[in-house]
Structure 1
Amino acid sequence: MARPHSTRYTVAALLLLGIAVVILTSLGQWQLRRADERRAILAAIEAGRKQAPLVLAPSTPPGDMKPWRVAQASGSWLPQFSVLLDNRNHEGRPGYWLATPLLLDDASHTAVLVLRGWLPRVIQGQGQPVLPATLPDGQAIKGELSERVPRMFELWSLGGQDTSSLPATLPVAGGAVPQVQNLPLDAYAKATGLTLLPTVVSQFGTGADDGLVHDWPEPSVDFQKNTFYAVQWFSFALFAAIAWLVVLGGAIKRMRQRASNDPAA
């Protein structure tokens, strides 16, 4: 005589398959949201780069400083306020981004923060990296705008002391160039005493060898990949749902068979 099918195992299988359907569907929906986010980023990049180049000045309306828009500015460099952004790799090489403010108006101390380029990390024990000279004052620079300095995840912020914080006042005594992980504009403005425009310029190369690399990273906008992953997760959810129905159908069939074989029926 065949061993009676365990109701407990059937209920457990239905429960696990139901949970799998919910989780797999949620993963598919998450991938669709990621695809929408990347579409929005791509649209913002294309819209910004289609606009006419913007000339930055203290009176430039903040609404005109759209991310990804090309801009130009001229003024006086303030190298004493330069900051190195650590852990910015380029083609697998560790290094820094060099950030220096460009003074647009001396009377109001209005400036714009410029990411001048990438330079390699110095070998440990060899001191500070040698910073390239700035361009002559009054020479226009060109670059692409962003809302802020791209951030890096500070691993040590989860616990322990942050050893890479911005000094309270710039420049630092002794002329050392601060090395930080992230550079919020409000904290930088407070440390320097400058009135900063609410934007950052990632400078283009000038054609001259200034010792810096001007190859700036861009966000991933491959939304097709997220859509493909979403289809995969939804397919897995469909298979799990079919399996749930098969298990449920088998359980109902066995219940009917037992009921028909029951002499008391």
Structure 2
Amino acid sequence: MVRLHTSYRTLAALVLLALLAYVFVSLGNWQLRRAAERTAISQTIAHGRASAPLHLQADTPDGALVPWRPASATGVWRHDLTVLLENRSYRGQPGYWVATPLVLSDEQAVLVLRGWLPRFTGDTGLPIPPDVPVPDEVQEVQGELLERVPRLFELAGWAGGGEVKLPAHLPQDNGTVPIVQNLDLTDYAAATGLKLLPAVLAQTKAAQPGKIDGVDPAARASMRDGPHAPGVAAASPDTPPAMAFDWPEPSVDADQNRGYALQWFGFAAIAAIAWLFIAWRTLRRTRNP
């Protein structure tokens, strides 16, 4: 009985060690894949920033919209279609990203991440919407191209509480600015009726007055207001709120993942050596009882 019990324990130990070795190797390979992904992201960023600056036009081809490429655009803001993205921190302070479309022509616009504004709370403890500057003249915006608006994890949606969704129609009838956590370009285009370029321009410096050749003031007002835009209260030009243009970048530290992979492979080697030792000792006992 002792030998039978011992054989069961030995077999269980061998199975457990083999399983651990398999799991450790799988985790090491996963870390290597993550390192390859981060290396690819780093190369994409370097390639985009090394590209020649692009001036966005209504007829800019999709192939020219390379992520992280320096770009500029000249147009007028549609402030009535501004959306605030909440839970965006900057240097540890909570705040909002301001997303506003810049109309390039009567038929084309580009969504611009204009910058970060801090979040303040009133006497009641509720957050106060930030005072977003609303210049109505033609603006020239400089920044970098992104494939999409960077997303945050929706904890409410994961917990079954439902995500804060973008209204089906913008601008809203009550004139309030929507506040959401994530913004999808397709949903935003459907809500606003705008024809958007398939990219996002992340503004990197303060906008400057610009000029659109061949556009008269009446057409410029139509581009700014749109066919159904409500009145938008302009911020005081004397005290415009300062925006931050320091956008977060994806993590590209592939060496960290390679270090983790080396650790997992080390654990797998230890499990394999222990498996070989137990198997050898068992075989020896079987031959020399």
Q: Same fold (TM over 0.5)?
A: yes
Contact 2:154 2:163 in 1 (8 A): no
- Deviation sequence 1:18-52 (CA, Å, 0-9, x none): 00100000000000000000000000000000001
- Deviation sequence 1:52-108 (CA, Å, 0-9, x none): 1000011000010010001000001110000000111112211110000000002x2
- Deviation sequence 1:188-214 (CA, Å, 0-9, x none): 111111000000011012299751111
Greater shift in the superposed pair: 153-162 or 178-187: 153-162
In structure 2, C-alpha distance between the alignment counterparts of 1:135 and 1:46, rounded to whole Å: 33
Alignment match, 1:255: 286
Alignment match, 2:245: 214
List gaps (5 residues or longer) in structure 2.
209-239
Aligned to 2:277, what secondary structure does the other structure show?
A: helix
List gaps (5 residues or longer) in structure 1.
259-265
What letter is aligned with 2:25? Answer: T
Alignment match, 1:115: 113
Alignment match, 1:171: 171
Q: 1:243 aligns with which of 270, 274, 278?
A: 274
In structure 1, C-alpha distance between the alignment counterparts of 2:31 and 2:160, rounded to whole Å: 34
Alignment match, 1:234: 265
Tell me how large the CA RMSD over aligned residues is: 1.8
Alignment match, 2:152: 152
What letter is aligned with 1:217? Answer: P
In structure 2, C-alpha distance between the alignment counterparts of 1:222 and 1:6, rounded to whole Å: 48
Aligned to 2:66, what secondary structure does the other structure show?
A: coil
Bigger radius of gyration, 1 or 2? 1
**Structure 1 residue 135: Cα displacement:** 4.3
TM-score (norm 2): 0.84
Q: Aligned residues: percent identity?
A: 50
Q: CA 1:210/1:57 → structure 2, altered by over 3 Å: closer, same or farther? A: farther
Within 5 A, what are the aligned runs for 1:54-133?
A: 54-106=54-106, 108=107, 110-123=108-121, 125=124, 128-133=128-133
Aligned residues between the structures: 254
Contact 2:56 2:71 in 1 (8 A): yes
Query: Does 2:196 align with 1:196?
Result: yes
Contact 1:74 1:141 in 2 (8 A): yes
TM-score (norm 1): 0.91
Aligned to 1:235, what secondary structure does the other structure show?
A: helix
In structure 1, C-alpha distance between the alignment counterparts of 2:40 and 2:169, rounded to whole Å: 38
Contact 2:145 2:202 in 1 (8 A): yes
What letter is aligned with 2:92? Answer: G
Contact 2:119 2:127 in 1 (8 A): no
In structure 2, C-alpha distance between the alignment counterparts of 1:160 and 1:49, rounded to whole Å: 40
In structure 1, C-alpha distance between the alignment counterparts of 2:254 and 2:163, rounded to whole Å: 37
What letter is aligned with 1:123? Answer: T
In structure 1, C-alpha distance between the alignment counterparts of 2:43 and 2:135, rounded to whole Å: 34
Contact 2:157 2:163 in 1 (8 A): no
Contact 1:132 1:211 in 2 (8 A): no
Alignment match, 1:262: none
Alignment match, 2:256: 225
